[in-house]
Amino acid sequence: MLKAQDNEDLTRVGPGTIMGDYLRRFWTPILEASELPGPDCDPAEVRILGENLVAFRDSAGQLGLLQALCPHRQAPLFYGRNEEGGLRCIYHGWKFDITGRILDLPNEPPDSPVKNTIRAKSYPVREWGGVVWAYLGPADKQPEIPQLEWGTLPPSGRQIIKYVQRCNWVQALEGDIDSSHVSFLHTKLDPKGNRVGYNQQSVGYVMRDKHPKIEVVPTDYGLMIGARRDAEEDSYYWRISQWLLPYYTLIGGDLDGKLGFGEMYVPIDDTHTMVWCPRWSAGGPFTEEQRRRNIEGPDAAVRTLDPVTGELRASKANHFLQDRLLQRNYSFSGILGVREQDTAVAEGMGAIVDRTQEHLVQGDAAIVAMRRTLLGNARALRDGEEPPAAAQGSLYRVRAWSAILPRTTVSFTQDPKMPVRLALADA
């Protein structure tokens, strides 16, 4: 459990909060690059860390990110005309370049001083790995973009799905670093009502051993989280996930380790989170079949994404389409879709979960460590210590993995192949 003040400090992201200030030291993923497809394309509305913004590309294709409302009389710049090197407000025609400078002020005399004294607030923007990133922190502290593996691959080797979750980013993130819930929430039932697992090879181990031993190893970029389950008489099954500051996860998947997956829990505001679900194939391009399977069919992570709204059709209002017959006979939760299952429990906790009411157990060790790290880092920044991980994008060049190791191995860090499994080839 957390004290009420710690819960506030951990979760709030607006300007001037300690976590908000901390998150603003990192580059923030805001859009897929394809949402701003080319020069003078339609602008995009962005809400991030509680700030309303508008993103666009100018006639030269350069990215800009401005305050959402025009500095004149607060009309939405999103409705603006994107033309000849800037975005023009449709209310009285003020026009801004990507840095927020006024290019044209047609409802004022030519000698008006306003042109040089007023600016729209703007933030630096970059494109990397098919994603548009924004930096909302102090200009002289600009960090590096985290070199996450999917971003280093060609577009044919990655696929990104994203959707809005209606709850605070930390409780959404906690689901991903909680290795013990996969023995329950995401499992299916056999005809006799027994749970039969959520994926292929490792299913048996995850199903048999429901109270994994959690080993948490602090790193420069966050935490390595090992979940150890009994495998055979003389071996353990280890599933090692990564939590990377501030809200990235890499999940230890199947034993062959060819396909990568993880999430990015980017705060829209205190009570909404953009959940990005990158899926990638380090061994070559995704086949069409793999690509389809990520979004369709019985094993798709996201089953009810509405492409128009960007939200799940399964929601709190319809009890996440839970089917009680399905729950009795086919699945532990009765909810279709892994992400829908995670979202149902995270949103169901309330917009910001009251952590003073929890009763944590051994299986929650990684969650405790993650909270401590985030709170410690945010308070250190408040006291003048800049976050080192933000400044070193190369720290993020790591993988998650799974392994069968002998029972004599007390820590996953003794895995002799760890350096190979962890390291990315040079992009």
CB of 140 vs ligand FES, minimal distance in Å: 30
342 contributes a contact to Fe ion by CB under 5 A: yes
Q: Going by DSSP bridges, is the β-strand pair 81-83/51-57 parallel, antiparallel, or unpaired?
A: unpaired
Closest CB to ligand FES among residues 70, 366: 70
| Shortest Å distance, C-beta 342 to Fe ion | 4
Roughly what angle, to the nearest 10 degrees, separates helices 169-176 and 338-348?
130
Q: Of Fe ion, ligand FES, none, which one sits near residue 370, judging by CB under 5 to 8 A according to partner kind? A: none
Give least dist CB 262 to Fe ion, A.
12
Closer residue to ligand FES in complex, CB, 70/245: 70
Burial of 424 (0-12, 13-18, 19+ CB in 10 A): middle
Question: What is the 3-state secondary structure of 257-277?
Answer: CCEEEEEEEEEEECCEEEEEE
Residues 168-197 that bind Fe ion (CB under 5 A): 175
Residue 178 corresponds to which tokens in the numbers above? 């909680």
Tokens of 369: 């460590």
Nearest distance from C-beta of residue 208 to Fe ion, angstroms: 19
Q: Whose Cβ is closer to ligand FES: residue 80's or residue 137's?
A: 80
Of 54 and 227, nearer to ligand FES (C-beta) is 54
At a CB cut-off of 8 Å and minimum separation 6, what does 107 contact? 92, 93, 94
Stretch that binds Fe ion, among 20-28, 324-332, 338-346, 360-368 (CB under 5 A): 338-346
Residues sharing a CB contact under 8 Å with residue 331, sequence separation 6 or more, in sequence order: 187, 188, 189
> Residue for token digits 């994926």?
199
Strand partners, 406: 235
Q: Which is nearer to ligand FES, 87 or 403 (CB)?
A: 87
Stretch that binds Fe ion, among 65-73, 292-300, 339-347, 369-377 (CB under 5 A): 339-347
- Rounded to the nearest angstrom, the gap between the alpha carbon of residue 30 and the centroid of all alpha carbons in its chain is 10
* Rounded-to-integer distance, Cα 216 and Cα 242, Å: 10
Q: How far is the CB of 92 from ligand FES (least distance, A)?
A: 3
Closest CA to 321 of 343, 300, 299: 343
Q: Of 73 and 407, which has the nearer Cβ to ligand FES?
A: 73
The nearer residue to Fe ion, 47 or 181, going by C-beta atoms, is 181
d(CA 66, CA 43) in angstroms, rounded, equals: 11
DSSP result, 302-345: -S-EETTTTEESS-GGGGGG--HHHHHHTBSSS-SSHHHHHHHH
Which of Fe ion, ligand FES, none binds 342 (CB below 5-8 Å, type-dependent)?
A: Fe ion
- Which one of ligand FES, Fe ion, none is in contact with 97 (Cβ closer than 5 to 8 A by kind)? none
Q: Supply the minimum distance, in Å, between the C-beta of residue 73 and ligand FES.
A: 4
Q: Which is nearer to ligand FES, 72 or 272 (CB)?
A: 72
Binding partner of residue 73 among ligand FES, Fe ion, none, CB cut-off 5 to 8 Å per kind: ligand FES
Report what 89 binds from Fe ion, ligand FES, none; CB cut-off 5-8 Å by kind: ligand FES
Write out the binding residues for Fe ion, residues 2-41 only, by CB under 5 A.
none
**Contact positions toward ligand FES, by CB under 6 A?**
70, 72-73, 75, 89, 91-94
Output 107 or 290, the one with its CB closest to ligand FES.
107
Question: What are phi and psi for residue 318, nearest 5 degrees?
Answer: -115, 25
Binder of residue 91, out of ligand FES, Fe ion, none (CB less than 5 to 8 A by kind): ligand FES
**Length in residues, the chain:** 427
Minimum separation from the CB atom of position 35 to ligand FES (A):
23
CA-wise closest residue to 6 among 399, 352, 423: 352
Q: Residue with CB nearest Fe ion?
A: 342
Minimum gap (Å) between residue 91 Cβ and ligand FES: 4
Name the minimum Å distance from CB 100 to ligand FES. 13
Nearest approach in angstroms of CB 136 to Fe ion is: 29
CA angle (54 as vertex; 50, 57 as ends), nearest 5: 145
Q: Report d(CA 378, CA 19) in Å as an integer.
A: 6
Whole-number Å distance between alpha carbons of 62 and 223: 36
Q: Which residues bind Fe ion (CB under 5 A)?
A: 175, 342
